[in-house]
Amino acid sequence: MLRSAILAASRNPRVKALVAGAPLSGAVVRRFVSGEAVEDAVRTTRALQQTGLRVSLDHLGEDTRDAGQAESTVKAYLLLLDRLAGAGLTGGGRSEVSVKLTAVGQSLDAGLALDNARTICEAARAADSTVTLDMEDHTTTDATLSALTALRRDFPDTGAVLQSYLHRTEADCRDLVGAGSRVRLCKGAYREPAPVAYQSAADVDRSYVRCLRVLMAGEGYPMVATHDPRLVAIAGALARHRPQGSYEYQMLFGVRTREQQRLAEAGETVRVYVPYGDEWYGYLMRRLAERPANLVFFLRALASRS
């Protein structure tokens, strides 16, 4: 209930003005976002890699309605990949980028978004890195999976994200279990209606386990993106027949950092999703919606500034 209310309120322009007016230096934003500049992203990547973690970097921004802005996003990814490679932080799967197709023009023109994503994939290949396409709300799922199919023809290592809260996802998992298929399974972070998505946490979790079973039994590379201790344990049990390194765990920057270290120290591959940039509003609101305690912390930080 609270999650839905926060996600709905986040679309209100007055709420956005209040929240986005808080400086990036605010403690809550800093907890979830590595910084505004590409240098912040590179510094965070280096620090995480030094502790044995891998990284997926997200240049913040979504739902671009302007081709110029989509082009700047592409340029930001090209700069990032160049800097990461220059700093010796790519190669061996150590760092990759996560891209939202709406940030590169999907809502304007699917062809433009595909061309832009292709440009980023080419730069990722040149930098010895890879791309994963983030998944956004359900109205974009078909378009994103079609773009994935097109990109995989030239860049077979392009990763997908599937969300267990959608009814369709178990079937999508079955379609994406082939050799070399990289699939990040998460619960899903958007506000979705009952006809397309499970509404109770228990149903979303049960769907997550069914999807995990499909992915772990397949020939692809499952990426288990959850902080949920029960699901992490179930993933470990389902992966027992697989060699370590044939799947990975993924968690968000700033969330359950000790658990990230514990898994890495146990020999597991662990990747941290690291957002950076100044368009942090939508990302932050989804993180607040996931955990009421974050909201309380955030409101206190806002109140203490006024």
Count residues binding ligand FDA (CB under 6 A).
Answer: 24
| Contact between 281 and ligand FDA per CB under 6 A | no
Q: In the beta sheet, which residues pair with residue 131?
A: 97
**Interface stretch with ligand FDA, choices 78-86, 139-147, 184-192, 211-219 (CB under 6 A):** 184-192
Give the C-alpha separation, 71 to 61, whole Å: 12
CA-CA distance, 27 to 284, in Å (whole number)?
A: 12
> Considering beta carbons, is residue 67 or 257 the nearer one to ligand FDA?
257
| Active-site residue, from 152, 184, 286, 287 | 184
Say whether 184 is catalytic.
yes
Q: Residue 252, interface with ligand FDA (CB under 6 A)?
A: yes
Contact assessment for residue 300 and residue 35, using Cβ atoms and an 8 Å cutoff:
no
Backbone angles phi, psi at 59, to 5 degrees: -80, 110
Minimum gap (Å) between residue 251 Cβ and ligand FDA: 5
Rounded Cα–Cα distance for residues 228 and 164 (Å): 13
The residue within the footprint of ligand FDA, chosen from 189, 216, 239, 295 (CB under 6 A), is 189
Residue 104 within binding range of ligand FDA, rule CB under 6 A:
no
Active site residue 137: no
Q: How far is the CB of 301 from ligand FDA (least distance, A)?
A: 14
Using the rule CB under 6 A, which residue among 26, 35, 188, 220 binds ligand FDA? 188
Give 99-162 as a 3 state SS string: ECHHHHCCCCCHHHHHHHHHHHHHHHHHCCCCEEECCCCHHHHHHHHHHHHHHHHHCCCCEEEE
191 makes contact with ligand FDA (CB under 6 A)? no
Cα 84-136-290 angle, rounded to 5 deg: 90
Tell me the torsion sign for CA atoms 118, 124, 129, 132. Answer: negative
Q: Alpha-carbon distance 33 to 74, whole Å? A: 20
**Options 211, 232, 251, 274; binder of ligand FDA; rule CB under 6 A:** 251
Catalytic residue among 58, 134, 172, 205: 134
Instruction: Pick one of 190, 198, 281, 283: the residue that binds ligand FDA (CB under 6 A).
Output: 190
227 binds ligand FDA (CB under 6 A): yes
Q: Does 145 bind ligand FDA (CB under 6 A)?
A: no
Q: Which of 110, 112, 255, 302 binds ligand FDA (CB under 6 A)?
A: 255
Q: Are 175 and 169 in contact (CB under 8 A)?
A: no
Task: Decide: is 115 part of the binding site for ligand FDA (CB under 6 A).
Answer: no
287 binds ligand FDA (CB under 6 A): yes
What is the rounded distance in angstroms from the CA atom of residue 144 to the CA atom of residue 289? 24
Q: How far is the CB of 300 from ligand FDA (least distance, A)?
A: 15
Q: Which two tokens stand for residue 110?
A: 């699917």
The span from the CA of 128 to the CA of 86, in Å, is 11
Interacting span for ligand FDA (CB under 6 A) from 62-70, 111-119, 121-129, 245-253: 245-253
Could you give the residue numbers annotated as active site? Answer: 134, 184
Note the residues at the interface with ligand FDA (CB under 6 A): 134-135, 161, 163, 184, 186-190, 225-228, 250-252, 255-256, 273, 287, 290-291, 294
